[in-house]
Chains A and B, each alone.
Chain A
Amino acid sequence: MEAKDLVLLLMIPILLVGILTFVNNNSITGNVVAEQADNEKLGTYSVMPSFRAKMDYSLKDYSDLKIKLKTAIDKCIDSKQQDIKYCIKTETNKDSYNWNCNEKESDVLYDFTGKLKECINLKNENAVCRFSLDKHGNLNKDSSKNLRIVLTNWYYPRIKAELFENDDILLGTDFIEAGKLFYTDYDNKDKDSKSADYITLKLEFKDGVPSVPQAYAVIGFDFVKLSRAFLIYKSKSGIKFIDEKFEPSFRGPEPANTIIDLPRMQGLKFCAKTGKSVIAYDDADGLVKSREIVYRFAITLPNPVPAPVNSFEAKDNLKSENSALLIWKKDPQSDIKSYSFYYSTNDFIDRKMNDIKKDSEIKKVSVVINSPIEIESVDLSSCEFNPINEPCKYQSYNNPLLKNKLYYIKSENKFVYVLFDADFKDGTDYNVAITAVNDKGEEMDNDKSAADNPYIFEINKNYLWFSSADDLAPAKIINVKKEAGTDGKTKLSWDFPAKNIDGTNLNDIKGFNIYYRKYLVGPFVIASSNVDASFAKKEIKISDAGCSSSSLQCEYVMEELESGQYFITVAAFDDKNNEFRDFAQLI
């Protein structure tokens, strides 16, 4: 054998080894199983489809963001700011966070479903949830958009909520664990549950505020109009949409009808970016392209205490004593259950609420706002006694404003509360403050040591100085009689007035004024009973009249009177010289 033959022979094993190596490295990973039966199929080639995929990204972003968020929350809790939402929002907008989210139309849907879920999750049974949608300043400025929220029965027990523009689903679908869709008449709310295929709510925006002008329950081809669907009756069997026109029926005495205003929970949504991008698809534009990764997450917060009142004013309650009219604008905040008034002759504008509450010299009055007396309009600058011995009637309203009652003036969207306190001293300067209180009894803290705390007293917004005037005269004097004494002098007698002119007890009588004029007969004399400048006046003290609340017969000898007939009237006057001067009588 020559060398060349040897080389050729050696090539054979080298070639075989090469083939084996090639086959192994390119891994024919499958295996073939032959088919035993004699048919078209020879067998099956099986391959395990395992894989490995890589990209340049780290899940550490989540822990980083979480730490930043927790730091912001803790900082705001530690600072004891009452408006924690504002604080966290400010903190998370600092530095390079840029966690703001752009508003989207689907936010309206999530606002709605969020409140609906909160209603469903309430522990209360047989209650009515009432809520309105949040304002979205930048949304839907094009009013021609035809937006609808459609609720449909989905997998039991879920309801699917979707936002439609015309017949297209806008981005936004949410699921609510609510059983089935029901609607009902209010009167049969506990017995009746009419099942709906779907409920559709038409949306309208005005100045960024969404409202629902029309809502329908749809069953097959039938449409049942619900004028507004934001009244939801929560019973043991689930939720039922109720026509708004039944709202007055809810206002029965509690606990028959409990109305719960939502939301009770607040929150903040964040859209954080860390500057990383991926190639991805998004339904928003239907494209696959390079997109920045946006981390969307949220926190929920306890409902903040109601915001401070900023339109507080006080007026004297006309023709009354020891009372004032406290006036402020009705606040749209749904969680306000009552208002508290604090008043004292001492200044407390810079004191914390906790201190104010402990101070016995600062009086507090709480006014629940669930059923104010509604009036169209009232003129608070003038009132009349008609008839006398009844409270003074305010103009336009033609009724008195009763003590310790709350009124709602529709035309001005204002509340008026008639603050009465027997210890309230007319003519004395009082510090008066107002706070809004939620159903948990929480109100502003007036902590001026906390930076940027908006929950504080401010003069002429929710804190003012006020003094009421006593302009209430004693009642009309009756049973005025004149008799000639044995000594030839004329004696007047009358009943001691126990009441004021408005029928309230008279406590501040000081004396009497006796007005008199001789009755003259002649062709040029007008016999007038009007007490005018032609009448002479005699002022006497109570002690001069010899009467009091326990000795009701008053008498006074009028040396000034001669024999003959006189026009005479007696008027009682009080500490502030208020008197009611009636027509004189001829005696």
Chain B
Amino acid sequence: MRFKLGKKGWLFEGIMFFIILIILTTAFFSLYKKYGQFPDGYKIGDRQFSLITAYQKGEAALFYIDQSAKYSLEQSVYYLAKSGGVSEIEVSDAETFAGHECGKFNDAYVWYQVMKKDGKINTKECFNENSAKDNLGYFFNNNLNEYLLSYPRDIPTGNYKYEFKDNLEIIGLATLPVNINIFKKEVPEDFSTAIRDVKPKPIDVKQLEKDTTKPSEGFRDFTGTDLCAKGSQCVLKEEAFQQLVKAQNAAVKKGISLEVYSAYRSSEKQQALWNGDTPERYAQRYPDPAVRVKYVCNPAGGEAKCPHLSGDVVDVRLKGKTTKTMSSADWNNLYSAMTSADSNKQPLWVKYSNEPWHFECCNTPRYARAIQQGVTSIV
């Protein structure tokens, strides 16, 4: 097929060209007029570009998670075998050690206990091979969390419900999304160590107001801020949040910086823990509720039994440290900053004596008891 342009055609095309030129020129000036001078250097398409960039960041995060899951699966299979198909929870929800029933022999978990009683030899089974799948999920989750914490942006950790299929497939169903901010103008990100420095710095209240959200009445979500550990979900009641800000300011004066790694926990989340819907699989490990309650808080007990449900409780450490790398001096500094006196000469927070990372404030029964007794650390 061949197209030929006649005289009329040339005329039509010429006119159309000028009409389009006039329309575009008019549109440009109209828009230019509408947005003034494109202040702050915005250009046409900046927002669209930001949107597409956000999508690309989301895709990059998804790709990273997919690869991390693949590596984590192999790693956790290796670790699981090394620990004989058994997993222990070093610090359980109830802050206790959830160990293997029959313990270890020479660092290997015991599968059978052969016992002699009244001259007869009996065997006690200590390992259920069906639990290997649950334990693999626990290892996998820990391993994946390490990968996710290494990602430059904030990806929620401990965020999955796992399903296993034979030979061997794991499906991680996320409960929280990865959120990527879309800014009017895309700002180049710098992930160099200087930016990620943990040097204590005073809180920029205005910035904090912008960075935090209020998901429901009286609560403040400060996930993703300097006060919240990477990968953690940080929500507190407003009063508790303000107490935390004051404690951080006191900490900065001491040359340290605080980092919350656990705060408010919704009753749904607590119920999921209790029901065994998390990688810890408490319900599967301890089917008897009377035993399970030693390791995980029963949400039926409410805030009195599960203080994290109150929104007035934090598990906190020094920025740049983990609970394992915190020294005695670090714990002391943390304690000192958190229990600094407020304007009423009352401690901002009080420590639960048995757990150096656990602090309560405001309206918890423990805080009230401590204030009444004039102490800053209480059982």
Report which A residues bind B (CB closer than 8 A): 4, 28-30, 32, 39-59, 61-63, 66, 69-70, 73-74, 77, 84, 101, 106-107, 109-111, 114, 117, 155-156, 158, 172, 174-175, 177, 197, 265, 267-270, 278-282, 291, 293-302
Report which B residues bind A (CB closer than 8 A): 1, 47, 50-51, 54-55, 57-58, 61-62, 65-66, 69-75, 77-79, 81-86, 90-91, 95, 97, 102-116, 121, 123, 127, 129, 132-133, 136, 155-156, 159-160, 166-174, 177-185, 210, 323, 328, 354-355
- Least CB distance from A418 to B in Å reads 33
A47 touches B78 (CB 8 A): no
Given that A77-B123, A111-B106, A279-B74 are contacting pairs, would A49 and B81 also be in contact in the complex, using a CB cutoff of 8 Å? no
A-B contact pairs, 25 of them (CB 8 A): A28-B55, A30-B55, A40-B183, A41-B184, A45-B58, A45-B181, A47-B180, A49-B61, A49-B156, A49-B177, A54-B169, A59-B129, A59-B136, A175-B90, A278-B77, A278-B78, A279-B71, A281-B75, A294-B82, A295-B81, A295-B84, A298-B105, A299-B105, A299-B110, A302-B115
Give the distance in Å from the alpha carbon of A41 to the alpha carbon of B50 in the complex: 10
- Given A52-B69, A297-B109, 6 other A-B contacts at CB below 8 A? A45-B54, A45-B180, A49-B65, A50-B174, A175-B90, A293-B77
Which residues of the partner chain B approach A269 to less than 8 Å between Cβ atoms?
105-108
Give the distance in Å from the alpha carbon of A300 to the alpha carbon of B100 in the complex: 14
B169 touches A197 (CB 8 A): no
A69 touches B74 (CB 8 A): no
- Least CB distance from A388 to B in Å reads 52
Which residues of the partner chain A approach B133 to less than 8 Å between Cβ atoms?
59
Q: Which of A46, A49, A59 has the most CB of B within 10 A?
A: A49
- Least CB distance from A504 to B in Å reads 42
Give the distance in Å from the alpha carbon of A300 to the alpha carbon of B86 in the complex: 16
Which residues of the partner chain A approach B355 to less than 8 Å between Cβ atoms?
155-156
Give the distance in Å from the alpha carbon of A281 to the alpha carbon of B115 in the complex: 37
A267 interface neighbour in B110, B121, B179, Cβ under 8 Å: B110
B66 touches A53 (CB 8 A): yes
Which residues of the partner chain B approach A74 to less than 8 Å between Cβ atoms?
123
B55 touches A57 (CB 8 A): no
Give the distance in Å from the alpha carbon of A384 to the alpha carbon of B183 in the complex: 108
Name the CB-closest residue of A to B148.
A49
Give the distance in Å from the alpha carbon of A394 to the alpha carbon of B123 in the complex: 53
Interface of B is mostly: mixed
A296 touches B110 (CB 8 A): no
Q: Which of A43, A77, A84 has the most CB of B within 10 A?
A: A43
Give the distance in Å from the alpha carbon of A77 to the alpha carbon of B107 in the complex: 25
Give the distance in Å from the alpha carbon of A282 to the alpha carbon of B156 in the complex: 26
Q: Which of A47, A70, A172, A265 has the most CB of B within 10 A?
A: A47
Which residues of the partner chain B approach A156 to less than 8 Å between Cβ atoms?
354-355
Give the distance in Å from the alpha carbon of A298 to the alpha carbon of B354 in the complex: 33
Give the distance in Å from the alpha carbon of A297 to the alpha carbon of B105 in the complex: 8
Give the distance in Å from the alpha carbon of A473 to the alpha carbon of B183 in the complex: 115
- Least CB distance from A370 to B in Å reads 23
Give the distance in Å from the alpha carbon of A268 to the alpha carbon of B91 in the complex: 28
- Least CB distance from B51 to A in Å reads 7
Give the distance in Å from the alpha carbon of A299 to the alpha carbon of B110 in the complex: 5
A46 touches B178 (CB 8 A): yes
Give the distance in Å from the alpha carbon of A177 to the alpha carbon of B51 in the complex: 53
Which residues of the partner chain A approach B184 to less than 8 Å between Cβ atoms?
40-42
Give the distance in Å from the alpha carbon of A32 to the alpha carbon of B86 in the complex: 42
Name the CB-closest residue of A to B120.
A77
- Least CB distance from B33 to A in Å reads 20
Cβ-closest 6 pairs across A and B: A297-B84, A267-B105, A280-B78, A45-B54, A298-B105, A298-B108
B173 touches A45 (CB 8 A): no
Given that A50-B174, A298-B106 are contacting pairs, would A69 and B111 also be in contact in the complex, using a CB cutoff of 8 Å? yes
A158 touches B51 (CB 8 A): no
B111 touches A46 (CB 8 A): no
Give the distance in Å from the alpha carbon of A268 to the alpha carbon of B84 in the complex: 13
- Least CB distance from A128 to B in Å reads 23
B182 touches A298 (CB 8 A): no
B85 touches A49 (CB 8 A): no
B171 interface neighbour in A28, A32, A51, A197, Cβ under 8 Å: A51
Give the distance in Å from the alpha carbon of A54 to the alpha carbon of B103 in the complex: 32
Which residues of the partner chain B approach A41 to less than 8 Å between Cβ atoms?
181-184
- Least CB distance from B7 to A in Å reads 20
B66 touches A58 (CB 8 A): no
Which residues of the partner chain A approach B171 to less than 8 Å between Cβ atoms?
50-52
A45 touches B105 (CB 8 A): no
Give the distance in Å from the alpha carbon of A73 to the alpha carbon of B166 in the complex: 29
